[in-house]
Every structure is written in structure tokens, then in C-alpha cells.
């Protein structure tokens, strides 16, 4: 299990926040931002544990009644909106219980925590409904917000929070975590490459072998062409994957974007997976060629939506890749 200590290596802003929370001098409202899968919600829950921990020693102890009830989601002083994860927006209605509870005292007599995940999905009305409590905090209440990007947060809400960006995880760190969770060395390496710094994605891929196979299939086809003559064989591997077509195109799109950013010196060098055979060609490709491929992937998404046969779509995309990306090689 991931602990608060695991986040101490996640950059200065995060470790300073943890130190302040443990020392009891944190801001009354914290907003955790960053790309999906970097652990914002995990960190938020662990901070809630730290606030509500009643154990001895370093907080959170993860053993006491307070910690256990936070982890199981049953702590009476941990307030979260009634909206489900899948709901697109969090409305005032979802906050009624919280707003009512805030007008009363904490039930356990100690602190209480309002945990607002995906706060960028809160409607402006919902955010405004919380503003009063953010503006006039009572001593015992702590707010923790998480948001993927903070574009959805009202400036008035944002300005009342200590905003901490949670950075992507280093590849080695993801690898170590996966091995600790039982992955083999090879799998851990592979998943850490494919996850792009998202521990959440790496862990869900580890638990979902179909998804991992799909990523490996993409690497072994679209990113393994040596010449146009390889297209029929690659196409044959893809043609029965019609049900996974949209997922496949999304995987390819993300990967092409990584190479494109690298070619424009705007991103790190992509790491090849074990299946990747044409990594050198992709690395050497010019931005213009990668843009053409990206446009072709986006077209492919569109053809899918208008019911063009999958086999025709994947085959055409493979040919475009072989034309745009492959270095000239003597046959
Ligand atoms: Zn505890």
C-alpha cells in the first residue's frame, strides 16, 4: 500500500506540504492539481488520514480507528459530495449534506475534513456555495480539493487554497512500486514505459492484462514496421481487433504525440517498449512527418465513427506510417 512517506520524493512542493500537515501548520484549504493518474486522490485521502488520525507518533499511523475509517470511507467527520465518480458535474444538490454538516460541530469533537475530488467538475454554483466556508474557516475544518488542471476552479476558490501541483512519477519509482505489488521485473519495466508517469495508469494496466496486451499489440505493429512490406503482416495482427479499435487508436495517438513533442524538443525522449522495432525511425522522424501521422490517426478515429471497415482503416494507417516514418533502407 502507498503511504504518505512515498509522496515525500514527489518534489519539494509536495514534501513541504506533507511536513506542514504533520506539524499541524497547514493551510485550511489545499488544492492538489496535476495530470490524471499521478496520485492526487490517493494523496488527498492520506492527508485526510493525517488530519483525522488519533494514533500516536508520526501521522497518519494507518492503524488507529481514525485512519481506518478514513480508508474505508466511513469516517463521520470526512465529508465528501454525494455525486458518484462517473457524474460529469458536481452540483449544489450534491453538496447539501456537507453544507448542512458544516453548520454543526464535528461529531467526534476533533477536526473534520471536506474532501472534494475532481473539484474542476463542480459547477460555479456549487463552488460559490462552498466559498463562504472557505472564506470564514472554522478552526477545526480542513478542505482538500483535487483537480486535473485547475482551469475549472473559480479564481475566488483557487485563491483561498494552497495549490500544490503533484508531478508525474519518475519511471524507476513506478517500476519499484509495481515490483512491490508483485509484477515481474520485465513487466514492471514495460508498464512503467507505457504509463507515461502515471502510477494510477500503471497499476490499472497491471490489473488489466487485456489492456496491457493491447498496448503491446500497438507497439508490435504500428511502431515496429521496417518497410512497407511489413504492412500486410501487421495488418493481419490487427484485423480481428475491431472491438478494441477505438482503444487502439487512442494508444497510437498518445504515442505519436510523445514522438512529436520530442521531435519539437518539447518533450522527453520516448522510451521504447520491449515489442517496439522501429523506435529509431520514429525518433529520427521530422515534426512534419509526425504531424501527418497524427492527422491520419485522427482521421482514422473519424472513419471509425462513420462505420468504415476497421481492416481498411488500420491498413491505411500502417501504409501512411510506413511512408512518413521509415528511413530509407536498402532492400
Ligand atoms: Zn492513525
**Percent of the chain, pLDDT > 70?**
96
1 Cα: distance to centroid of ligand 1 (angstroms): 15
Intra-chain end-to-end CA distance of the chain, in Å: 52
Domain boundaries in the chain?
4-165, 169-207, 211-324
> pLDDT category, 113, cuts 50, 70, 90?
very high
Exposure on the CB side of residue 169, measured as CA atoms within 13 A: 28
197 Cα: distance to centroid of ligand 1 (angstroms): 30
Is it true that domain 4-165 has CATH number 3.40.50.2030? no
> pLDDT category, 215, cuts 50, 70, 90?
confident
246 Cα: distance to centroid of ligand 1 (angstroms): 44
250 Cα: distance to centroid of ligand 1 (angstroms): 41
Count, in order, helices (H) and strands (E) of the chain: 15, 5
Question: Taking the mean position of all CA atoms in its chain, how far away is CA 84?
Answer: 18
Is residue 328 over pLDDT 60?
A: no
- Average of per-residue pLDDT values in the chain: 89
Mean local confidence (pLDDT), 74-102: 84
Exposure on the CB side of residue 242, measured as CA atoms within 13 A: 11
pLDDT of residue 109: 66
53 Cα: distance to centroid of ligand 1 (angstroms): 4
54 Cα: distance to centroid of ligand 1 (angstroms): 5
Instruction: Name the burial class of residue 157, with classes exposed (0-12), middle (13-18) and buried (19+) by CB atoms within 10 angstroms of its CB.
Output: buried
pLDDT of residue 305: 85
Tell me how far apart the alpha carbons of residues 273 and 216 are, in angstroms, rounded to a whole number.
Answer: 8
Mean local confidence (pLDDT), 59-87: 89
Is residue 153 over pLDDT 70?
A: yes
113 Cα: distance to centroid of ligand 1 (angstroms): 14
243-287 tens-digit pLDDT: 999 889 988 988 898 899 899 988 788 888 888 999 999 999 999
166: CB partners within 8 A, 6+ apart: 7, 10, 11, 14, 32, 33, 34, 38, 39, 40, 43
Burial 177-211 (b: 16+ CB within 10 A, else e): bbeeeebeeebbbbbbbbbbbbbbbbbebbeeeeb
Mean local confidence (pLDDT), 69-87: 86
pLDDT of residue 314: 97
70 Cα: distance to centroid of ligand 1 (angstroms): 9
User: Reading across the β-sheet that carries 162-165, which strands appear in turn?
Assistant: 78-79, 112-116, 141-147, 29-33, 162-165
Given a contact cutoff of 8 angstroms between Cβ atoms, the answer to whether 22 and 7 are in contact is no
* Model confidence pTM above 0.85: no
Is residue 317 over pLDDT 90?
A: yes
148 Cα: distance to centroid of ligand 1 (angstroms): 28
Cell of 67: 485512519
Mean local confidence (pLDDT), 212-219: 90
Mean local confidence (pLDDT), 90-118: 84
Mean local confidence (pLDDT), 148-155: 80
Is residue 150 over pLDDT 70?
A: no
47 Cα: distance to centroid of ligand 1 (angstroms): 11
Is residue 2 over pLDDT 60?
A: yes
> pLDDT category, 209, cuts 50, 70, 90?
confident
18 Cα: distance to centroid of ligand 1 (angstroms): 15
Amino acid at each position: 500500500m502507498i503511504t504518505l512517506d512515498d509522496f515525500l520524493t514527489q518534489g519539494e512542493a509536495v514534501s513541504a506540504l506533507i511536513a506542514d500537515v504533520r506539524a499541524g501548520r497547514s493551510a485550511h484549504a489545499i488544492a492538489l492539481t496535476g495530470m490524471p493518474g499521478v496520485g492526487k486522490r490517493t494523496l488527498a485521502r492520506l492527508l485526510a488520514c493525517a488530519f483525522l488520525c488519533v494514533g500516536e507518533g508520526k501521522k497518519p499511523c494507518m492503524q488507529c480507528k481514525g485512519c481506518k475509517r478514513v480508508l474505508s470511507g466511513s469516517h463521520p467527520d470526512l465529508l465528501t459530495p454525494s455525486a458518484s465518480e462517473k457524474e460529469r458535474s458536481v452540483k449544489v444538490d450534491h453538496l447539501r449534506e456537507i453544507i448542512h454538516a458544516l453548520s454543526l460541530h464535528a461529531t467526534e469533537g476533533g477536526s473534520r475534513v471536506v474532501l472534494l475530488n475532481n473539484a474542476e467538475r463542480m459547477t460555479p454554483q456549487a463552488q460559490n456555495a462552498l466559498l463562504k466556508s472557505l472564506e470564514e474557516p472554522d478552526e477545526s475544518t480542513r478542505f482538500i480539493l483535487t483537480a486535473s488542471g485547475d482551469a475549472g476552479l473559480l479564481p475566488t476558490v483557487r485563491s483561498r487554497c494552497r495549490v500544490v501541483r503533484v508531478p508525474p512519477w519518475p519511471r524507476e519509482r513506478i517500476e519499484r512500486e509495481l515490483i512491490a505489488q508483485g509484477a515481474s521485473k520485465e513487466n514492471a519495466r514495460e508498464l512503467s514505459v507505457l504509463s507515461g508517469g502515471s502510477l494510477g495508469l500503471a497499476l490499472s494496466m497491471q490489473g488489466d492484462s487485456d489492456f496491457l496486451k493491447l498496448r503491446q499489440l500497438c507497439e508490435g505493429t504500428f511502431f515496429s514496421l521496417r518497410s512497407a512490406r511489413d504492412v500486410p503482416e501487421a495488418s493481419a495482427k490487427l484485423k480481428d481487433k475491431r472491438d478494441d479499435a477505438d482503444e487502439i487508436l487512442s494508444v497510437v495517438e498518445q504515442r505519436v504525440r510523445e514522438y512529436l513533442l520530442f521531435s519539437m524538443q518539447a518533450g522527453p525522449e520516448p522510451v521504447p517498449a520491449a515489442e517496439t522495432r522501429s523506435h529509431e525511425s520514429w525518433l529520427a522522424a521530422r515534426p512534419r512527418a509526425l504531424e501527418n501521422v497524427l492527422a491520419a490517426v485522427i482521421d482514422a478515429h473519424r472513419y471509425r465513427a462513420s462505420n468504415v471497415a476497421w481492416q481498411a482503416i488500420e491498413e491505411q494507417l500502417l501504409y501512411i506510417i510506413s511512408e512518413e516514418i521509415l528511413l530509407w533502407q536498402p532492400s
